[in-house]
Chains A and B, each alone.
Chain A
Amino acid sequence: MDFSDRQTALSHDILMSIDKPSRYTGGEPNSVMKDDADIRFVMCFPDVYEIGMSHIGMQILYGMFNSMPDVWCERLFSPWTDLDRIMRERNIPLFSLESQQPVKTADFLGVTLQYEMCYTNILQIFELSGIPFYSADRTEDDPIVIGGGPCVYNPEPIADYFDIFYIGEGEVRYRELFDLYKRFKAENKSREEYLREASHIEGIYVPSLYEVTYDENGRFTEMTPRYEDVPARVKKQLVKNMDESFYPTAPVVPFIRATQDRAVIEVQRGCIRNCRFCQAGQIYKPVRERSPEQLKELAREILKNTGYEELSLSSLSTSDYTHLKELLDYLMEYCGEKKINISLPSLRIDAFSLDVMSKVQDIKKSSLTFAPEAGSQRMRDVINKGLTEEDILHGSEMAFKGGWNKVKLYFMLGLPFEEESDAVAIAELCNKVAGVYFDTVPKSERQGSVQITASSSFFVPKPFTAFQWAEMNTPEQFVEKAKITKAAVRAQLNQKRISYHYHDTGTTIIEGIFARGDRKVAKAIEYAYRHGAIFDAWTETFSYEGWIKAFEETGVDYKDYIFRVRDDDENFPWDFIDSGVNKSFLLREWHNAAKAQKSTNCRNQCMGCGAGAFGCGVCVE
């Protein structure tokens, strides 16, 4: 089929008047055109094209859905503010990239929820599509709106906007949802009947079928199904055997430069490390590896089908992949011949990784990366970060001997049980790393000098972590701590070699509210959106004051979600999700954190978190 005469939804005049028009015209290599399919599924990543197209999860589902003959999956991203304005002025309905047809006429609108700060963008998508914001207001003329991705581990702040949430990994249950849809459509059943029946599928959460109660202070008490046939708990879905699950060998290749402009192979899913602040580490449990044989084949296929000049490995913690050496040896040879670059994820610094890095990167230009997350050993015990000072200093020494002289260090501030001395310790650790350089590299061999870049983000407690009970710092406390660190950096002997940055506090607070809020938050999001909030993940469009006003105007007690330690036995809005990891395990970890007591990792010793019940991955190794 030749689609070069494809009509674009936007006129030439409009396309010529906006930034990066090819964000909106589709037709990229490996994008899928179909003439006809029973189900048209529009998959939306609610941020700009370049960011959404870099997301491997979306490529997996896009490829998988389009491999089904009766499903046509199309893509949709947030129109940037320039096009947004034009579409409103001229009443142009939002369209999907492939068919360039209105989103509203699709059967499903799937929204991938990768970070909380995209929530207002979802409302933009609805509004420009002509789809009502609230599930309750939608009719048979609207697509079924499904949310998926990590944010669904507390979907409550946006629960009223969605017809369905899919809890867990998308590979598993969509076929059932589609079959049910086709059957009910043929039988002329209503949207309501479909949603009710869908709630019986494992992993499917239909928010409208649950009743939420609050106590006299408006604090969440419990959530119960409205009907007997609707399950009280929704179980996370996961792929048990990675080698047997779908992986796209011909991903869509963007024309314009995406944030990740390279071929990606996912080496494993999950993480063994149990860092207490980390949500990904818990919700993707247990770690499941792909076989090196499959990964080699995937790499070859993907490179052949895309023409990418760069390959990268994706996982939460690639150094823990048990066949890493075998895989990298192979890839280095294969890619070397074909002049394909390998971009390494941040590997744990040791002799092996330094050797690999020296082969694939220009040492002079590249930097070492450590993510100790906290400055003091006590704090690293609190958060259960296995990386020790010894690891960092020894790793740096090896690297400095090998010719590196740039080091990046990532920290967090505002962690539970943090004290002033912990903020100072960040500076001291940086100073020690610089000191190692001066002790290791003789003056005559120094090229330039050592450069330490340290940055700290502010900690946000997330559901399904040991810190889901924790209190968040206020913006003032965050800034105060960052100032302590900054002053401490200035007081160090090697201060000239260290540069220190910290993140924005405003977005952190709003993210914290969305992370652990309940259903009441939805009206504040709507208020903020109606008063101009959009692209909140982008500093140039974010307004903290606007958000605080939104909570105040809608009577949402946002402080109660974040600025208090939650009781051990408090019910959480997200407790209805069965993530496999038991709340009792997380609570134990929370108490261990209070005692600054380290735990172990899944490969050293199983901690009986509960995920073993899935019967796969590291739990059965």
Chain B
Amino acid sequence: MSVTVRFKFMRTGPVRYLGHLDMLRYFQKAVMKAELDAKYTEGFHPHQIMSFAYPLGVGMETYGDYMDLEMNACEDAEALMGRLNAVMHEGIKVTGAVILREKALNAMAAVAEADYELVVTGDGKVSGDSEKKNAETVLTAAINELMARSEITGVKSGKNIRPGIRILECRRCKDYKGSNDEGADDYELRLVMRLSSGSKLNVRPADVFDKLCGTEAVNESGIRFKVTHLYRMEIYGNDKDGRIVALNDKTAE
């Protein structure tokens, strides 16, 4: 008998430079330290049965990633979260835990879409308020230009990624959560995206950003935009009717 517990976690700050395998190793150690009743593989080198919804790229921060862990037994998922957080280190924190129902898809297979926020600046040109306003205008035009196309070829995949761009907006943001703070001048510009993810059509935020930088609107402006922070905000799956729900939603497939 075993149950799978799905943990939601965040990672911010300098730990964002860890690779996917480093995160795996980090969590395995955390499970050890927290002495969770994890299930192990058989054999001479037993290891935990752990998987992630979506590998976190080097440099990416997250508020909504998921890790599945197989356990021998688990009554109270929330309690596990507390035990894990007690042994966590700077920048990584578990923010939720649910016991998966028996037939649920594994995290990786369940992924359908993901939200991103990219903090953008441009080579020294986007610091003052008027410059930011200008940059915002440029980016908005670029978005309109891009979204008007029916076909956008992905850099690596060669596939048409246009249908996979579900939301693409430029917002003024003051805090991490993307609230639109009109009027404040200590805001930063963020590109907010919801992109198709998973095996069918996987759109990477960096691809969309590159495409934006290649638009006429950006070219004409002469601004060289760059990304200073890349956040994944949430990962979604589908419920049985095909609606988009967060991966830790009880109704996720």
Contacts and interface: CB of A to CB of B under 8 A. Distances in A.
A257 B25 contact: yes
B28 A25 contact: no
B13 A6 contact: yes
A4 interface: yes
A360 B47 CA distance: 14
A372 B21 CA distance: 38
Contact of A309 (B15, B28, B229): B28
Contact of B33 (A25, A306, A339): A306
Given A13-B226, A339-B40, A21 B58 contact: yes
Nearest to B89: A29
Contacts, number: 88
Given A22-B17, A26-B14, A3 B90 contact: yes
A454 B104 CA distance: 52
Interface in B89-118: 89-91
Contacts of A308: 29, 32
Given A13-B226, A256-B22, A339 B87 contact: no
Interface in A1-38: 2-6, 8, 12-13, 15-16, 21-22, 25-29
B124 interface: no
B74 interface: no
Of the listed residues B17, B28, B87, B228, the one surrounded by the most CB atoms of chain A closer than 10 A to its CB is B17
B44 A361 contact: yes
Contacts of A307: 28-33, 87
B14 A6 contact: yes
Interface string A275-314: 0000000000000000000000000000111111100000
B47 A255 contact: no
B46 A255 contact: no
Contacts of B29: 29, 253, 306-309
Contacts of A257: 21-22, 25
A360 B43 CA distance: 10
A303 B33 CA distance: 8
Contacts of B19: 22, 256
A224 interface: no
A309 B30 CA distance: 11
Contacts of A338: 32
Given A22-B18, A26-B14, A360-B44, A255 B25 contact: yes
A261 B21 CA distance: 13
B17 A25 contact: yes
Contacts of A569: none
Contacts of B14: 4, 6, 8, 22, 25-27
A338 B13 CA distance: 32
Interface in B53-89: 58-59, 87, 89
Given A256-B22, A362-B43, A309 B32 contact: yes
Nearest to B41: A339
B45 interface: yes
Interface residues of A, number: 36
B15 A255 contact: yes
Nearest to A261: B25
Contacts of A6: 13-14, 90
Interface string A85-107: 00000000000000000000000
A507 to B, nearest CB: 31
A349 B251 CA distance: 58
B52 interface: no
Question: Which applies to chain A's interface (DSSP): helix, strand, loop or mixed?
Answer: loop
Contacts of A8: 14
B187 interface: no
A15 B17 contact: yes
Contacts of A5: 13
Interface string A178-220: 0000000000000000000000000000000000000000000
Contact of B228 (A12, A255, A360, A361): A12
A546 to B, nearest CB: 34
Nearest to A12: B228
Question: Which applies to chain B's interface (DSSP): helix, strand, loop or mixed?
Answer: mixed
B51 interface: no
B26 interface: yes
A451 interface: no
Interface string A30-66: 0000000000000000000000000000000000000
A576 to B, nearest CB: 45
Nearest to B11: A4
Nearest to A253: B29
Contacts of B238: none
Contacts of A27: 13-15, 89-91
Of the listed residues A4, A13, A256, the one surrounded by the most CB atoms of chain B closer than 10 A to its CB is A4
A341 interface: yes
A148 to B, nearest CB: 29
A255 B16 CA distance: 11
B69 to A, nearest CB: 14
A541 to B, nearest CB: 24
Interface in A242-262: 253, 255-257, 261
B224 to A, nearest CB: 12
B12 interface: yes
A282 B169 CA distance: 69
Interface string A338-360: 11110000000000000000001
B45 A341 contact: yes
Nearest to A29: B89
A49 to B, nearest CB: 12
Contacts of A16: 58-59
Contacts of A306: 29, 33
Contacts of B91: 4, 27
A360 B228 CA distance: 47
Contacts of B18: 22, 255-256
Contacts of A309: 28-29, 32, 47
Contacts of B13: 4-6, 27
Contacts of A15: 17, 59
Given A4-B15, A255-B22, 12 more contacts: A4-B13, A4-B91, A13-B226, A22-B18, A25-B17, A28-B89, A256-B22, A261-B25, A309-B32, A341-B44, A341-B46, A362-B45
Interface of B: 12-15, 17-19, 21-22, 25-26, 28-33, 40, 43-47, 58-59, 87, 89-91, 226, 228-229
26 contacts: A2-B90, A4-B91, A5-B13, A6-B14, A8-B14, A12-B59, A12-B229, A21-B58, A21-B59, A25-B17, A26-B14, A27-B13, A27-B14, A27-B90, A28-B89, A29-B29, A29-B89, A255-B15, A255-B18, A257-B21, A261-B25, A303-B32, A306-B29, A307-B30, A307-B33, A309-B32
Interface of A: 2-6, 8, 12-13, 15-16, 21-22, 25-29, 253, 255-257, 261, 303-309, 338-341, 360-362
Rank and list the top 10 A-B pairs by shortest CB-CB distance, nearest first: A307-B29, A307-B32, A307-B33, A4-B13, A21-B17, A4-B91, A25-B14, A362-B44, A4-B90, A22-B17
